[in-house]
Amino acid sequence: MSLKKENEKIEEYEKQLALVRDEIKKYEKPEEENEQIKNLKKLEADMIEVINLTRDLIKYKKQNELENDENKELERSGEVAPDIHEHIKESNKFIGRTCSLNYENKMVYGLIENVVIHNNIEQLLIHIFETNDRIMIPPNYVQLNEVLNESALKENNQFQALYKKDG
């Protein structure tokens, strides 16, 4: 499938997403949220995920094309391809960090336990505090939480503490 077709798919998905959002607005009532609204909101979240996955696919295809071209040039020049272990060392800096992400249609907190590369795709192994689930997810779907350092601990500064039991 060409990149042009993928981009056309994204445009079509975004049009469908706009229609779903319009339907949600028609039925949405602040005091009562019925089953139909819940289904439409789930559909909205699913469509957003499809759009993001399609964008990731396009990015992956472009990256693959570039890497293939670079590897062919390196082979012609006799140089060795860069070692993937350097990338893993860089990614390992995320291990042990807390993060937030959208999981089962709600924002949750988790702990990055490991970085795994499978079929040239980087994935994070995350322990979800609230449910004790462990999931694999691409790094671009995760937002790292700030690391607290001593210089930030000044009078009149506020911070939020996150405990595993709280989720």
pLDDT at 155: 74
What the block records as the tokens of 148 is: 């607290």
CB of 126 within 8 A of CB of 142?
yes
**pLDDT band at residue 166 under the 50/70/90 scheme:** low
What are the backbone angles phi and psi of residue 27, rounded to the nearest 5°?
-100, -10
Average of per-residue pLDDT values in the chain: 78
CB-neighbour burial class of residue 158 (10 A; exposed 0-12, middle 13-18, buried 19+): exposed
Q: State mean pLDDT over 18-41.
A: 76
Q: What percent of the chain has pLDDT over 90?
A: 7
Written as one string, the DSSP assignment of 81-108 is: PPPHHHHHHHHGGGTT-EEEEEETTEEE
Query: Is the predicted pLDDT of residue 119 greater than 90, yes or no?
Result: no
Read off the pLDDT of residues 127-144 as tens digits, 9 standing for 90 and up. Answer: 998 888 999 998 888 888
pLDDT at 113: 92
What the block records as the tokens of 40 is: 């439409």
Among the residue ranges 77-91, 103-117, 118-132, the one predicted with the least confidence is: 77-91
Read off the pLDDT of residues 42-91 as tens digits, 9 standing for 90 and up. Answer: 888 888 888 888 888 888 888 888 877 777 776 676 554 455 555 555 66
Class of the CATH domain delimited by 84-152: mainly beta
**List of residues 6+ apart from 135 with CB closer than 8 A:** 103, 110, 125, 126, 128
pTM: 0.44
